[in-house]
Amino acid sequence: MGHAHHGMLSDATYGRLASTNVLTDFVELPSQLLEHWFAQPEILQKYAKHYQTGAPIPIELIQKLKAAETFQQGFATIEYTICALMDMALHHEVDDYDTLDLLEFEKKQLERLGMPQGIVMRHRPPHFLHLFASEMYAAGYYVYLWAEVLDADAFGAFEESGNIFDPIVAEKARKYIYSAGNTQDPEELFRLFRGRDPKIEFMLKKKGLATVATE
């Protein structure tokens, strides 16, 4: 639905610059940003109701759901990040791919990167379809995690306003995130929305890897 909103709210003159026709670094932001509202108590208590009594989901259960969101996030972040780093290393390889020993390459890179024992890559190179099924994510698998940095920071703007439905912040999100397409550099669009460059602390807080985000 976030991608759909990116299309429906598009306000660009040329189709090639409109909607989701943006740099891969930015394309997941409108989608992942929308996901934040789903887990908010005021949303869940409106739609998540007991199938017999119609009673809204208890706050205590919502708190348990929120706590469960951070379970094993350290593990999950490492297994994802190592794939993104392997992607970059593989696409920097200048040797002949016909003679490349992929398993040996993987072994050496994991040693170089200090991969912790007990954690494996989310995608082993032989089935890493994001990298070779098309050119979109080649050397760009990192974008999902980068989008988490952007979406957590962007949702922080709504939280800081004291109202997750704040119309002023929502209008800025519409103008600079959902409507602008690729008419401006994504970095500049984020600065126009947030007033600064993105900060990683919001993503770390979302994952439970930091206790306080830098305001």
Give the orientation angle of helix 29-38 with respect to helix 143-161, to 10 degrees: 50
Tens of pLDDT, residue by residue over 116-173, are 988 888 888 777 777 776 777 778 888 889 999 999 999 999 999 999 999 999 999 9
More confident position, 94 or 104: 104
Angular region, 54: left φ>0, alpha ψ -120 to 50, beta rest = left
Cα separation, 93 vs 73, whole angstroms: 30
DSSP state of 72: T
Which residue intervals of the chain are DSSP H helices?
A: 2-8, 24-27, 29-38, 41-47, 59-68, 73-91, 102-113, 129-132, 143-161, 167-173, 186-194, 201-206
pLDDT at 103 over 50: yes
Q: Which pLDDT does position 212 carry in this prediction?
A: 53
Contact between 26 and 186 under an 8 Å Cβ cutoff? The reply is yes
What are the structural domains of the chain? 1-215 (1.10.1370.40)
Task: Give φ, ψ of 49 to 5 degrees.
Answer: -125, 155
